[in-house]
């Protein structure tokens, strides 16, 4: 995804104004194959790292996430992250599921260990046996956030860590996207 589609810049110029917010939305969930977007967390698979593109035959254990190479976004005003996971406790005891979204520099081999990476979105939900609940998370990052300058650079890794405490929970990843927004006119010198 190196230097994302200049194809679009021609159009952006035609639809460009001081009031136009240009947003590049990367749908991270689409990089998770359909067959793995739904599944079961259990004692064997209590942690999932998504997406997984290491091709090692086991899905959900890739520690370096998805590499994104977007244009350098000096005009970035805000970054918005959204995830939605629908969950159902199919076990016999109470369970808890946590979700974290991490971003890291492109050279980071393990983006979920807190070393060199940033946790930009985190939350959890408790589920009683048989209970069904979504885990909806959203965050908007601005200049003050430590991860902001990394996102501004356009070259970063992103991934989701889903962890289970409990017995068995069925999950479906419904949404996971990163939206980077800025105004092209801000690039005009004062």
> Which residue number, 18 or 146, has a Cβ lying nearer to other proteins?
18
Going by C-alpha positions, the residue among 140, 161, 152, 153 that lies closest to residue 63 is 161
Beta partners for residue 41, in sequence order: 169
Tell me the three state secondary structure of residue 148.
helix
User: If binding is defined by CB under 8 A, does position 140 make contact with other proteins?
Assistant: no
| Contact predicate 122/137, CB 8 Å | yes
Nearer to other proteins, 97 or 156 (CB): 156
Q: What x/- string results for residues 45 through 74 when contact with other proteins is judged by CB under 8 A?
A: --------x---------------x-----
Closer residue to other proteins, CB minimum distance, 165 or 175:
175
* Structure tokens, 78: 């805000």
Residue whose tokens read 């060199």? 116
Member of 16, 46, 73, 94 binding other proteins (CB under 8 A): 16
Q: What minimum distance in Å lies between the beta carbon of 187 and other proteins?
A: 9
Cis (ω within 30 of 0) for the bond into 158? no
Left, alpha or beta for 3 (phi > 0: left; psi -120 to 50: alpha)?
left
- Options 10-18, 74-82, 92-100, 103-111: segment touching other proteins (CB under 8 A): 10-18
- The residues with which 143 forms a beta bridge, in sequence order, are none
Q: Which of 30/172 has CB closer to other proteins?
A: 30
CB of 43 to other proteins, least distance (A): 31
List residues binding other proteins (CB under 8 A). Answer: 1-27, 29-31, 53, 69, 179, 181, 185-186, 188-190
């Amino acid at each position: 995804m190196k230097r994302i589609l200049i194809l679009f810049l021609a159009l952006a110029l035609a639809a460009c104004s001081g009031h136009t917010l240009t947003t590049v939305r990367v749908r991270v969930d689409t990089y998770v194959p359909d067959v793995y977007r739904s599944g079961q967390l259990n004692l064997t698979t209590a942690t999932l790292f998504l997406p997984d593109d290491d091709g090692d035959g086991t899905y959900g254990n890739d520690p370096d996430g998805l590499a994104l190479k977007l244009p350098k976004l000096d005009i970035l005003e805000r970054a918005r992250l959204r995830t939605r996971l629908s969950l159902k406790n199919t076990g016999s005891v109470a369970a808890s599921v946590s979700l974290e979204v991490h971003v890291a520099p492109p050279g980071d081999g393990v983006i979920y260990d807190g070393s060199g990476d940033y946790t930009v979105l985190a939350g959890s939900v408790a589920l009683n046996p048989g209970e069904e609940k979504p885990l909806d998370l959203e965050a908007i990052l601005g200049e003050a956030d430590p991860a902001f300058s990394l996102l501004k650079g356009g070259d970063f890794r992103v991934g989701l860590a889903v962890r289970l405490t409990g017995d068995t929970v069925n999950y479906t990843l419904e949404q996971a996207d990163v939206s980077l927004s800025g105004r092209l006119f801000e690039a005009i010198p004062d």
